[in-house]
Structure 1
Amino acid sequence: MEIRILGPVEPSVPPKPAQVLAVLAVECGKIVPVERLIDLIWGEEPPPQARKSLQVHISSLRRAGLPVEHRAAGYVLSAEPGSVDLHAFRKLVSRAGDEPDLRVKADLLGQALQLWRGTPVVFAQTLDVQRLAAAEAWVDAELALGRHAGLIDRLGTFVTEYPLAERLRGQLMTALARAGRRADAMRVFRETRKVLVDELGVEPGEQLQQLYRDVLEGSRDSRRNYLPRDAGDFTGRDRELGRLLDSDGGVWWIEGPAGVGKSALAVHAAHRLADRYPDGQLFVDLHSPSGALDALLRAMDVPSERIPESVEERAALWRARVSGRRVVIVLDGVTSVSQVRSLLPGSPGCLTLITSRSRLCGLEGVRRVPLDVLSSDEAVTLLQRILGDDRVSAEPDQAQEVARLCGYLPLAVRITGARLAGRAHWPVSKLVRRLSDERSRLDELVADDLAVRAGLELTYRALDENARRAYRIFGFLGLPEVPSFLWAHLLDEDVLDQLVDARLLDVIGSARYRMHELVRLHARELAEAEDQEQEREDVVRRAVVAALSTVDGLTEQLFLAVPRMQDSLGIVTSAARPTDKDAWFAREESLLTRLVERAAELGLAEIASQLAEVLVFAWFGLRNRYEAWERTHTAALEAVWKTGDVRLEAVLRCSLGQMHYKRDNLAQARSWFDTALTLFVDLGDKRGEAVAMNGIGMVCRDLGEYPCALEALGRARELLESQDLEGEAHALYGIGSVKRELGDDEGAFGTLRLAETVYRRARSRRGEALAARGIGLVHRARGELDLAEDHIRRAHEMVAGIGDELLGCYTAQAWAKVLLRKGSLDPAAELIQQALDGCRDVGDRFGEALVRRTLGEWRLAAGDHAGARVVLTDLLPVWNDLTLPLWRARTLRDLGAVHASLGDVEGADRSWREAAGLFTRLGTREREEVRQWPAQWAPPALSR
C-alpha cells in the first residue's frame, strides 16, 4: 500500500487520523511514543481524553487497512519506507546528491519534486525546507545543462511559494538573463529587494547583489574564465569549429604540426562555448600531470595547502571538484596520452579540448580533430583581417606570395602581418622581397618547421637593438612566464611593449608576460648564437637575484632539524613584499622552481643553492611543498657536484634529509644526514656537523633508537651552544623529548624548560610553543592534568597567534588527550576533528596517524568499543610503513584495552604481549606499566 503525506494524506481518512498517520509515516518503521504523538497532534493543551482519542484514531487507521501496530512504548507504522512518498522523496534526493551525471541528477530531482502535491498536514515547515533545497538543486542542474528557457515559468511558481528564498530568486534572474531577458532579471532583483526590506528589514545578500551587477553590465555568469584572450581575427577552421560547437561534451584531441593553430582553435571554441559551460573555462599549458592538476585545482578554488602530493590523489580531488559541473578545459601542448589520463574529468557534463603535435594513440572514447595548414584563401583572409582590406586589396598577388612564403601556417602569417601592421608605410611587396631571401630565413635557425622560423626571424630582425636583446633574454631565461618581479630587474617596459606589438609576447594579467614555446626556443637559440656566455649567464644570475630579493623577505623561523646555513651572497631584500604571501607563492611556485633548475643547468651552483634554500624557509617547508623542494635541491646538487664545492653539497644534502624527515621517509632521511655529516666532519665545519647531528638525532628518536638520539643531539647541542640559539634550542627539545619517552621526567623537565628559554632568546615563537607543548606532555604522562592543560593550551594559543596550522594540529591533539583524561569528551572531539582535518590538508602522514590514534582513544572512552577497534586496528600497518615502533606499541596497548573491554581475553593478551615486547626492547617508560594493564582496563580507563 502506498502512503502519501506530501500534500493531502492518502489513503483518505478523517482529519485527526490523517495527522496521526502522517506522524507515523514520517517515522516509518520506528516506534513513536504515545506522549510524542499527543504533543504533535494536539499541541501543548491536549484534551483530557487525548489517550483514548488517540486509540480511536489508531483503530480508524487499522480499519482502513493501514499496518499500525501497538508496542510497549507507543505505535509504529510497519511498512517499507519506500512505500511512503516522503521517504521516496528523500531517497531520490540522496541518489541525486551522489550522481555525477548532470542529466541523471536533474531527472532524479525532478522525480522527487513531482511527489509533492501540496502542504503536508504535519511538520510542514521542516519538510518545506527539504523541498526548497531539492528545488534549488534541481534548478542548478537544469541551468548547468543549459535548459534555462524552460525553467522560467516553474521558477516563477517556486518564487511565489517561497518569496524570501534569495537563492531561488537569483536562479530566476540567471535563467532570465541567459534567455536574453535582462530587463526582467533586473525587475526580479528590484522586487526581491522590496520584499526583503518590507518583510525582514534587510538588503539582499552580496551574492544576489553581485548577480544584479553582472546582469546590469551584461557579463556572463562565469567566475572562472582562465582562457587566454580570444583572437579577434580568428580565420578559417569552419568545419573543425562546427564539430566542436555541435558537440555535447566529452574529450576532443586537436592535433597537427607546430604553428598550425591548434591552441587558437581550442581557445576560440572554448570562448564560444562559455555559456554552455558556466561553471568554468580553464586553460592549462601542459608540462607534467602533477603540475597541471595543481593548476586546475587552484583554478577551481582549492587552496594550495589542500592540494595532495600524489598525482593519483590530485586526480581524484580534481574529478570530485568538477563532478556534477559543466566545465570546459583546454589542455594545451600535450606530448603523450599518459600526460592527460589523470586530467580528464569523470563528469559527462564537461568538455575537454586537447592540443598536441602527437597523433592520438591509446585513449578511449576520444574524438580527433586533425589540423593542417590554412588554405591559400584563408591565409590571405587572416592577413587581411590583421592589416585591413585596403592594403591587401591594393597588392593581392603580393599578399598571396606572403602567405605562400609563410607556408600558410597561422603563426607565421600572424607574425608577418603584425609587423606590416606596425609599419603602415611599408607596401606588402617589400615584405615579399625580404621573405624571398632564403639565407635570411634559414641560415641561423634549426627547428622543425621552416616557415615558422622564417616568420620569427623576419620579425626579430625588424626590432631595434633593445627589443632584440629583450627577446633573447626572454628566450634564454627558459621560463614559461616572466612576472614583473623578474623582468623589472632585467628589462624596460617600453621594450616589452614592442615585443607584445610584434606578437612575440603575450600579456597575462597585470604586467606578466608569456612567450610561446616555439618563439621562446627561437629566441634562446639566437641568444646562444649572438651573446657571449658571460652575458647569458649574467641574465639568469640577475633573475635569481631578483627572485631572492623578493623571497628572502618572506622567510620565517622554522624548528627544522636544518636551520639556514647559506651566506647571504650580498643579496639585499629591497623588493616589495607581496600582500598575500600564500596566493603569491601559489602562483609563482612553478616559476621559481624552474628558475633554480635553469641556474643549475648553467652551472650557477652557488646562487641556485641559495634560492633553493631560501624557498624552503619561505614556502616549501611551511606548506609541505615536497615536490618543488626535491626538484630544486636535486638540480642544485647536480650543479654543485660539477663545481666540487663540498660544503654546498653537504648543505643541500642536509636539506634533502630534512625534506625526507618531514615526509616521514626516515631511512632516506638518515642516509642523507649521514652523508652530510661525513662531509662536514672532513671539512672541519663544526656548525654543519651540528646541524647534521640534529637531523640524525631526530630521526633516531622517531625510530626508537634512543641512545643514538641522545648521543647525536648531545653532540649537536655541544657544538651549537651560544653559537646558534635556534639550533641549540632544537637539540635541547629533542633531548628533552627522548628523556620523556624513557621516563626520566626530571631530566625532561629541565631540558625542555631550558629549550623554551633558548627558543625565547632566539625569538622563535614556533619553537617556544613546541617546547611548551613538550613540557605539557611530561605533565600529562605523570597524570598532572591541570598543569599539562595549562602548558598545552598556552602552546596552542601561541601557535594560533603566528598562524602555523600544522603545529596547531599537534597542539590541538595534545590538548584533546588531556581533555579525554579529564572526562571532557565533547571539547576533545572538536579538537580531534580540527587536528585531523589540518593534517590531511597538508598531507602530514605521521600527524594524521597520531590524531587517528587519539580518535581511537576517544571512542574507547566514549564506550564505542567496536569503533575504537576499527580505528586502532587500521593504524597498525601505518606505523609499520612509517617505521615507528613506539607508536605501534602504544596502539597495540590501547587495542588490548579495547579487546579487554569487549571481553576478548585472547585478543587483549595477544595485543598486550606484543606491546610489552616492544616497550621492553625500546626501554621506554611504558615497560614499567605492563603489569598494571589488566587491572587498569577493568573497568576501562584512558591509556597514557
Structure 2
Amino acid sequence: MEVRILGPVEPTVPPKPAQILAVLAVECGKIVPVERLIDLIWGEEPPPQARKSLQVHISSLRRAGLPVEHRAAGYVLNAEPENVDLHLFRRLVTRAGGETDLKAKAETLNEALQLWRGAPVVFAQTLDVQRLAAAEQWVDAELALGRHAELVERLGTLVAEYPLAERLRGQLMTALARAGRRADAMRVFRETRKVLVDELGVEPGEQMQQLYRDVLEGTKESRRNYLPRDAGDFTGRDRELSRLLDCDGGVWWIEGPAGVGKSALAVHAAHRLADRYPDGQLFVDLHSPSGALDALLRAMDVPSERIPESAEERAALWRATVGGRRVVIVLDGVVSVSQVRPLLPGSPGCLTLITSRSRLCGLEGVRRIPLDVLSSDEAVTLLQRILGDERVAAEPDQAGEVARLCGYLPLAVRITGARLAGRAHWPVSKLVRRLSDERSRLDELVADDLAVRSSLELTYRGLPEDVQGAYRIFGFLGLPEVPSYLWVHLLDEDVLDQLVDARLLDVIGSARYRMHELVRLHARELAEAEDPQQDREDLVRRAVLAALSTVDGLTEQLFLAVPRMQDSLGVVTAAARPTDKDAWFAREESLLTKLVERAAELGLAEIASQLAEVLVFAWFGLRNRYEAWERTHTAALEAVWKTGDLRLEAVLRCSLGQMHYKRDNLVEARSWFDTAQTLFVNLGDKRGEAVAMNGIGMVCRDLGEYPCALEALGRARELLEATDPEGVAHALYGIGSIARELGQDDQAFDTLEQAETTYRRAQSRRGEALAARGIGLVHRARGELDLAEEHIVRAHEMVAGTGDELLGCYTAQAWAKVLIRKGSFDAAEKLLHTALVGCRDVGDRFGEALVWRTLGEWRLAGGDYTGARTVLTDALASWTDLGLRLWRARTLRDLGAAHACLGDNAGAGRCWGEASALFGRLGTRESGEALQWPVQWNLVISQ
C-alpha cells in the first residue's frame, strides 16, 4: 500500500489518525516512542486520555489496512520506504545530487518536486525547507541548460509560495535578465527589498545586491559571488580564521568530523576575503570532478556550447579561464584527492578552500586546518548568539549543560539553539531534560533541514562494508574510549584507521581510540537496527574477557574480600601487564566501570559480576574507590536479580557489605552481610558463609558488640579451617583484636601470632603486616613501648613493599603513637601528617578520625592544651557521625584531660563521666581506669 504525506494524507483517514500516520511515515520502518507521538500530535498540553486516544486512532489505521505495528517502545509503520512519497522524494533528490548530466539532473529533481500536492499535515516547516532546497537545485540546473524564458512562470509561482526565499528571488531575477526582461528583473529586486525590510528588518544579501547592480549596468548576471549566505552568528575559530585571512592564495584543506563547522569556516572566510578576490567567489558542493568543472565554468560565464565533454578538457579550460584572475573557490564536501586535482586553478592569485570529513594525503603544497569541537565557552557563546543574551543569562548552568550534551559540536549546538529560538516559551532547562535521555538525543537534534543524524549518515554510508561494521561495533560497546587491550580482540587496526581517516574516530595517545558522544549514539543506533542481538552480546562478552585478561594478573587477595570466581566463559590471549599499576588503573577506572555496566545492561550477569569482583581485588578495594565499586556491583546485581542466580547475588551482596564496611557505614554493611550469609547457608555454600560471617564479625567488633563478633568470627574460622588458610588468618586477626580491646592480653598475643604465622604461610604480605601491627598494639597498651615499636616498625616496612598506602597510614599512626609516649614529638608529627593526607586522599573517614585523635594526644603530651581540646573536639564529632562508641569513649577520655589541664574541672568531669560509662557498658580494658584519670592529670599539672 502506498502512503502519501506530501499534501493531504492518503489513504484518506480522519484528521487525528492522519497526523499519526504522517508521523509514522516520516520515520517509516523505525519505532516512534509513544511519548514522542503524543508530544508531536497533541503538543505541550496533551489531554489526560492521550495515551488511550492514541491506541484508538492506531486501531482505526489498522482497520484501514495500514501496517502499523506495536513494539515495546512505541509504534512503527512496517512498510518499504519507497512506498512513502516523502522517502521517494528524498531518494530522487539524492540521486540527482550524483548526476553529472545536467539534463538528467533537472529531470530527476522535477520528478521529485511533482510528488508534492500541498502542505504536509506534520513537520510542515521542516519538509518545506527540503522542498525549497530541491526547487532551488532544479532551477540552477534549468538555468545552466539555458531554459530562461520557460522558467519565469514557474519561478513566479514558487516565489509566491516562498516570499522570503531570497535565493529563489535571485534565480527569478537571473531568469528574467537572461530572457531580456531587465525591467522585470529590477522590479523583482525592489519587491524583494521591500519584503525583506518589512518582514525581517534586513537588507538583501551581497549576492542579490551585486546581481541588481549588474542588471542595472546592463551586464550579465553577477559571477562575482556564488557563496552561500554567511552565518551571522559565526563563533570561535579565531586562530584558524586568522590563518586564512592572513594568507595570500594557495590551497587550504579544512578537515574535521561531521557537524564541526568546516563549511561555515570556509564560507565565512571567503566572504571576508571577497574584496581581495574580485574576479569571483565560487562555491561547489562536490559530487564528481566532471560535474564540478561544469558548474565552475558556467559560473565564470563560459557558454554551454564551449564546455567540452571530457573531464581532462574541462580541467584545461577551467585553468585557462581563471588564469591571471583572483578567484576564491570553496570546494565543499571533498571525499577524495582525485576529486580535487582537476579543480585546482593554475593561477597563483587564486585561493582554494577545501572542506572534507576525511584525512586525505597525496595533494602537494596543501596547508591543513584540522577542526575539532568548540570549547565549552565558545559553544555557550554560539547558543547565546542564537537565543539572545537574556535567555542564556537567565539559565547559565542549563545553557552550559545543553552545550555539554551536544558534545560542543557546532551543528548540534546550532540545532538546539534553533529549536529554543522557535519556542520562546520553553525554558532552556526543558531542552536539557529532553537531551539527557541518550536513546532519544539524536531525535531531539533536528531543526528544519538541520539534523545531526543525517549528517553522520552521509559519512557512514560512504564507508566500505567492513568499516561500517567496525563503526557499529565501536558505538555498541558504549565506552568513552577503547584502548589497545580491548580493540585488539575485536577490531582490525587497518579498519580503525579508516574510521580515523573518516573523522569518526580520534586517536588518543598510543593506539587508543575515542568516539564523540553523538557519533557513538548514532553508531549504537545503527548497531541495534542492523546487527543480530547475539552478535552484539558476543561483542560485549569478548570485550569483558579482554579486560579480564589484563586485570586478572593485577589482583591481590584482600582482607575479608570475596574470593574471585573462576573464569568459565572462555579465554583470550593475555595482554601485556602495565608497568605502573596505579597510573594504569587511574586512567582505566572509568572505562572498566562502564564496561561492567554495559555488560549488565545487556543481561550478561555472570561475566559482569566476574569483572566487577576482579576489579575489587585489583583496584577498588586497595585504593578505596568506593563510587566505582558501588556502581559496578549495583549494576551487576540488577542483572543477577533478573536471572535468579542466588549464588551470584550472595557474592555481590557480600562484596557490597565489604564496601560499606570500608566506608564505615557499619549498619548498612551488617544488612548486606546478613542477607548474603542467609543466601549462602540456603545454598549450602560453606566458603561463602564463612566470608559473610567474617564480615559480620568485623562489623560487630567495630560496633562494640563483642559476643556477637566472637561467635561470627569463630564460625568463620571453623568453616575455613580445612580449605582456606588466608580466610582462617582473617578470622584469627579479628578474634585477636577483640581480645586486645577486652584486655585479654595473653589470648590476644596467642591469637594474633597464629594469624601472623598463617598469613605468612598463605603468602599474604599485607595480612602478615596487619597481624604484626596488631601484636604491636597489644604491647603498646601494656606500656611495653620498645616491643611495640619493634613490631609496628616491622609492619610498616612490610606494608611499604605491598603498595597498600592506606594500611601504611595505619601503621604510621600506630608508630607515631608509640613515639609520642616515648617523647619523640617531631618524628611523630611527621608520621601523623603523612597519614592524615593519605587517609583524606582515599576518603577513609575512620582513618582520618583516628589520626586527628592521635594529633590531639600529641598536642596534649606536648603541653598545647588549647590546641588539643580543639583537635579532640573535631575527632569526637567524627566518631559520633560514625557511630563508634569505643572510639568516642577514648576520645572523651583524652578531651577530659585537656579540660583538666586548662583548669576546666566541670568540663573534665563531664567528659570522663561519659567515657567511663561507655567503657563500662562495652566491657573493654579501660573500664577500670576511670579513677586513675584525675590523679594522672593532676600530677602532670603539678609538675
TM > 0.5: yes
Amino acid at match of 1:557: Q
Aligned to 2:491: 491
Alignment match, 1:714: 714
Distance 1:392 1:659 in 2: 66
| Equivalent residues in 2 for 1:875-890, closer than 5 Å | 875-890=875-890
Aligned to 1:465: 465
Which amino acid is 1:509 matched to?
G
In structure 1, which of residues 381, 390, 394 is the aligned counterpart of residue 293 of structure 2? 394
1:584-636 deviation line (CA, Å, top 9, x unaligned): 21211111111111101100001011111111111111111111111111111
| Structure 1 Cα separation of the partners of residues 333 and 713 of structure 2 | 69
Residue 528 of structure 1: CA displacement? 1.5
Question: Structure 1 residue 419 and structure 2 residue 335: aligned?
Answer: yes
Q: Which residue of 1 aligns with 2:536?
A: 536
**Residue 690 of structure 1 corresponds to which residue in structure 2?**
690
Contact 1:810 1:835 in 2 (8 A): yes
Contact 2:565 2:610 survives alignment (8 Å):
no
| Deviation, structure 1 residue 458 | 3.2
Shift of 1:900: 2.0
Q: Answer yes or no: is 1:815 the counterpart of 2:714.
A: no
Conserved? CA contact 2:647–2:680, under 8 Å: yes
Stretches of structure 1 lacking an aligned partner (at least 5 in a row): 1-234, 245-264, 273-331, 333-354, 357-370, 401-413, 432-444
Alignment-mate amino acid for residue 675 of structure 1: T
Q: Structure 1: how far apart are the matches of 2:671 and 2:298? A: 67
In structure 2, the partner of 1:173 is none
The aligned residue for residue 789 of structure 2 is 789
Alpha-carbon distance in structure 1 between the residues aligned to 2:930 and 2:451: 81
2 CA distance for matches of 1:383 and 1:589? 51
User: In structure 2, how many angstroms separate the alpha carbons of the residues matched to 1:754 and 1:462?
Assistant: 70
Give the aligned residue type for 2:460: Y
Residues in 2 aligned to 1:841 and 1:457: alpha-carbon distance in whole angstroms:
46
Give matches, 1:837-848, under 5 Å: 837-848=837-848
For 1:760 and 1:858, locate their aligned partners in 2 and report how far apart those are by CA, in whole Å.
34
CA apart distance, 1:568:
5.8
Tell me the CA shift for residue 483 of structure 1.
Answer: 1.3
What amino acid is aligned across from residue 394 of structure 1 in structure 2?
Answer: L
Greater shift, 461-470 or 562-571, is seen at: 562-571
**In the alignment, which residue of structure 1 is the partner of 2:933?**
933
Pairwise CA distance, 1:778: 0.6
Query: What amino acid is the match of 1:585?
Result: F
Give 1:792 shift.
Answer: 0.5
Shift of 1:572: 5.7
Distance 1:561 1:530 in 2: 42
**Cα distance between partner residues in 2 of 1:836 and 1:459:** 54
Equivalent in the alignment of 1:676: 676
Per-residue displacement from partner, 1:293-346 (whole Å, max 9, x unpaired)? xxxxxxxxxxxxxxxxxxxxxxxxxxxxxxxxxxxxxxx9xxxxxxxxxxxxxx
Cα deviation for residue 474 of structure 1 reads: 0.7
Pairwise CA distance, 1:462: 2.6
Distance 1:383 1:561 in 2: 69
Shift of 1:825: 1.8
Residues 1:269 and 1:712: Cα distance change in structure 2 (over 3 Å): farther
Provide the residue aligned with 1:747 in structure 2: 747
**Could you say which structure has the larger radius of gyration?**
2
Q: Deviations over 1:451-473 (max 9, x none)?
A: 43334333323322221211110
Q: Which residue in the other structure is 1:921 paired with?
A: 921
Q: Identity of paired residues, percent?
A: 74
Contact 1:741 1:925 in 2 (8 A): yes
1:660 touches 1:668 (CA, 8 Å); kept in 2?
yes
C-alpha change, 1:452 and 1:901, in structure 2 (3 Å) is: closer
- The answer as to whether partners of 1:561 and 1:730 remain within 8 angstroms in 2 is no
- Provide the rounded CA distance (Å) in 1 between the counterparts of 2:523 and 2:470: 9
SS at match of 2:939: coil
**Could you report, residue by residue, the CA deviation over 1:42-77 in whole angstroms, capped at 9, with x for unpaired residues?**
xxxxxxxxxxxxxxxxxxxxxxxxxxxxxxxxxxxx
Residues 7-52 of structure 1, C-alpha deviation per residue, up to 9 Å, x if partnerless?
xxxxxxxxxxxxxxxxxxxxxxxxxxxxxxxxxxxxxxxxxxxxxx
C-alpha change, 1:268 and 1:716, in structure 2 (3 Å) is farther
Query: Residue in 2 aligned with 1:903?
Result: 903
Deviation at 1:389, TM superposition (A): 13
Q: Is the alpha carbon distance of 1:496 and 1:822 closer, same or farther for their aligned partners in structure 2, counting shifts above 3 Å?
A: same
Contact 2:555 2:614 in 1 (8 A): yes
**In structure 2, what is the Cα distance between the partners aligned to 1:905 and 1:560?**
45
Question: Per-residue deviation at 1:416?
Answer: 8.5
* Alpha-carbon distance between aligned partners in 1 of 2:282 and 2:670, rounded to the nearest angstrom: 63
Distance 1:270 1:638 in 2: 54
Structure 1 residues 565 and 752, CA gap change in structure 2 (3 angstroms): farther
Following superposition of structure 1 onto structure 2, how do residues 299-698 of structure 1 map, counting pairs within 5 Å? 374=264, 377=267, 394-396=293-295, 417=333, 419-421=335-337, 448-449=445-446, 451-565=451-565, 567=567, 569-571=569-571, 574-698=574-698
C-alpha distance in 2 between matches for 1:419 and 1:507? 20
Q: Would you say the 8 A contact 1:420–1:426 is kept in 2?
A: no
Cα RMSD for the two superposed structures = 3.7
Q: Which amino acid aligns with 2:904?
A: D
TM-score (norm 1): 0.56
Asked whether the equivalents of residues 697 and 734 of structure 2 are also in contact (C-alpha less than 8 Å), the reply is: yes
Partner of 1:854: 854
Q: Residues 496 and 639 (structure 1 numbering): CA distance in 2 closer, same or farther, change over 3 Å?
A: same
Hey, what's the Cα distance between the residues in 1 that align with 2:230 and 2:732?
Answer: 70
**TM-score (normalised: structure 2):** 0.56
Note the C-alpha offset of 1:938: 2.4
Residue-by-residue CA offset, 1:769-814 (whole Å, 9 max, x unaligned): 0000000101111111111111011001111122221111111111
Cα distance between partner residues in 2 of 1:713 and 1:648: 23
Counterpart Cα distance in 1 of 2:764 and 2:331: 56
The reply on whether 1:833 has 2:837 as its aligned counterpart is no
Q: Which moved more, 1:796-805 or 1:537-546?
A: 796-805
1:866 is aligned to 866
Q: Following TM superposition, by how much is the alpha carbon of 1:562 offset from its aligned partner in structure 2, in angstroms?
A: 3.5
Q: 1:666-690 CA distances to partner (integer Å, 9 max, x unpaired)?
A: 1111111111111111111111111
Aligned pairs, number: 564
> What secondary structure does 1:930 align onto?
coil
Alignment gaps of 5+ in structure 2:
1-227, 245-256, 272-280, 300-329, 345-354, 356-441
The offset of 1:399, in angstroms, is: 13
Pairwise CA distance, 1:664? 0.9
Superposed displacement of residue 908, structure 1: 1.6
**Does the Cα contact within 8 Å between 2:289 and 2:342 map onto a contact in 1?**
no
Q: Is the 8 A contact 2:473 2:527 kept in 1?
A: yes
Report the AA paired with residue 555 of structure 2: T
Q: Deviations over 1:551-593 (max 9, x none)?
A: 1111123223544355564546711011222222121111111
The residue number in structure 2 matching 1:762 is 762
Name the CA shift for 1:865/1:538 in 2 (closer, same or farther; >3 Å): same
One-letter code aligned to 1:884: L
Distance 2:671 2:833 in 1: 35
**Which amino acid in structure 1 is aligned with residue 749 of structure 2?**
F
CA deviations over 1:720-763 (Å, ceiling 9, x no partner): 11312221111110110011101111111111001001110111
Distance 1:376 1:703 in 2: 69
Give the Å deviation of 1:425.
9.7
In structure 2, C-alpha distance between the alignment counterparts of 1:814 and 1:729, rounded to whole Å: 21
Residue 896 (structure 1) shift = 1.4
Q: Return the alpha-carbon distance in structure 1 between the equivalents of residues 934 and 243 of structure 2.
A: 70
**In structure 2, what is the Cα distance between the partners aligned to 1:772 and 1:469?**
57
Q: Which residue of structure 2 lines up, in the alignment, with residue 893 of structure 1?
A: 893
C-alpha distance in 1, partners of 2:850/2:699? Answer: 17
Rounded Cα–Cα distance in structure 2 between residues aligned with 1:415 and 1:666:
67
CA distance in 2, matches of 1:913, 1:269: 76
Q: CA deviation at 1:237?
A: 8.3
Cα deviation digits, residues 262-316 of structure 1 (max 9, x gap): xxx59969999xxxxxxxxxxxxxxxxxxxxxxxxxxxxxxxxxxxxxxxxxxxx
Greater relative contact order: 1 or 2 (C-alpha under 8 angstroms, separation 6 or more)?
1
From the superposition, tell whether residues 394 and 573 of structure 1 become closer, same or farther in structure 2 (CA, over 3 Å).
closer
In structure 1, the residue matched to 2:803 is 803
Question: Compared with structure 1, are the counterparts of its residues 454 and 714 closer, same or farther at alpha carbon in structure 2 (3 Å cutoff)?
Answer: same
